[in-house]
A = this chain, B = another copy of it.
Amino acid sequence: VDVDNAPDRLRGMPSWLFGQLSIKARRTTDEVMDGHGLHRSQYGLLASLAQFGPSSQTELGARSGLDRSDVVRWVDELAARGLVVRDRDPDDRRRNVISLSASGRRLLVRLDAELAAAQERLLAPLTAREREQLIRLLRRALGSG
């Protein structure tokens, strides 16, 4: 889209801007993740495990904004590639305990760098100061207290 040619009603409408930006953002990050044969959502799973340690799939979904059903799918794939390990929780055998493997942790570090570069491309028109401001506002809008 060329936002300069969009009608004022859309150019000033947050919901429309979010939609257009999420399309652009998805394209940018998919370039990176495709290069590793991974899905965007899987980065969120690895990130969650790295920060909070071994977790159930419900926890993973809640933290990274994924549906329970999609968590199953993406964890399946991560486990098949040895990036995470899936075990039954001995204390509550309804649950799985998903843990990051050493190679998962190594991959995460590489993804961090590549995704950071992708974010810079995505926000190229903004200064460093504006990017921080934007992130703060987005986070508050999403409901951070």
Q: Which residues of A contact B (CB under 8 A)?
A: 1-22, 24-26, 28-29, 43-44, 47-48, 50-52, 62-65, 112, 115, 118-119, 122-123, 125-126, 130-131, 133-135, 137-145
Contact = CB atoms under 8 A, between A and B. Distances in A.
- Report which residue of A21, A63, A125, A144 has the largest number of chain B beta carbons within 10 angstroms of its beta carbon: A21
B19 A26 contact: yes
A15 B25 CA distance: 5
A5 B62 contact: yes
Contact of A126 (B1, B15, B126, B141): B141
A7 B19 CA distance: 23
Main secondary structure of the interface of A (DSSP, over half): helix
- Report which residue of A11, A122, A138, A144 has the largest number of chain B beta carbons within 10 angstroms of its beta carbon: A138
Nearest to A52: B7
A25 B29 contact: no
Contacts of A144: 3-4, 11, 125
A14 B63 contact: no
Nearest to A9: B47
Contact of A122 (B14, B26, B28, B125): B14
15 contacts: A3-B143, A3-B144, A4-B144, A7-B51, A7-B52, A8-B51, A9-B112, A14-B122, A14-B135, A15-B118, A17-B139, A18-B22, A21-B141, A126-B141, A137-B137
